[in-house]
Homo-oligomer: A and B are copies of this chain.
Amino acid sequence: MAKLSPSSRVIHALDVDSLEKGLEIVEKVSPYVDGIKVSYTLLYQHGISSFEAICENTSLPVIADLKLADIPAIVKRLSEKVLEAGVDGVIVHGFCGRDVVEACIEEAEKRGAMVFVVAELSNPGAVEYMKGMGERIARMALEAGAYGVIAPATRPDSIARIRRVVGEEMVIISPGVGVQGAEVGDAILAGADYEVVGRLIYQAPDPAEAAKKIAEAIRKKASS
């Protein structure tokens, strides 16, 4: 199982529907990103075999962003399925409780795969019911043995607070860059390890060039 290793500090969110297009983009951007995040868009269209195809066509770690948010028995079953497809990491929601996170970790550990726990979503509504929960969830994820947490690039203060909770023991990945409003590099400055970038890359006329530029912008900002 491939683990994340920081170089460009960019994870590409491959939220495309077409597997053909997905494979094309993966081939182009792989030299410039540290990981590929696959999601429901591919799964809806092609089922789990699309994740298999992506995994077979890149040496980068592939993270299945299913944002699992169900009871433990279902999360265990779905985690097993997706890990069987060969992905290196799975994303589970923390708000569902420790039993759900543990069900996911149990399956991942059998295969040495990574589990990322969503501590806080990046949309404005995410703080309506979950205000202040991010740190509590991050602490639980740490104790449960997760590999990383997900914190919103749209709220750098949340990233900084979550970093204080998890120390250097956990990886923080941050979506919300670009179309959602966060500037490239801001999440890294606030303490994240990787920025998750989707539309800025897969909607660009030249995805490889876009990924390269984003990685450069992050490098510049991080060293300034």
Contacts and interface: CB of A to CB of B under 8 A. Distances in A.
Interface residues of A, number: 48
Interface string A177-209: 001100000000000000000000000000000
Interface stretch (A45-53, A161-169, A214-222): A45-53
A140 to B, nearest CB: 8
B47 A44 contact: yes
Per assembly, the copies of the chain total 2
Contacts of A175: 71
A45 B44 contact: no
Interface in A59-115: 66-67, 69-74, 77-78, 81-82, 93-100
B123 A180 contact: no
A5 interface: no
Contacts of A17: 81
A126 B45 contact: no
A41 interface: yes
B44 A48 contact: yes
Contacts of A95: 95, 129-130
Interface string A11-43: 000010100000000000000000000011101
A41 B77 contact: yes
A2 interface: no
Contacts of A40: 66, 74, 78
Contacts of A99: 123-125
A54 interface: no
Contact of A44 (B81, B128, B140): B81
7 contacts: A43-B47, A45-B47, A72-B125, A95-B129, A97-B126, A97-B127, A128-B140
Given A45-B81, A69-B69, 9 more contacts: A40-B74, A44-B78, A72-B123, A96-B123, A97-B121, A97-B124, A98-B125, A99-B125, A129-B133
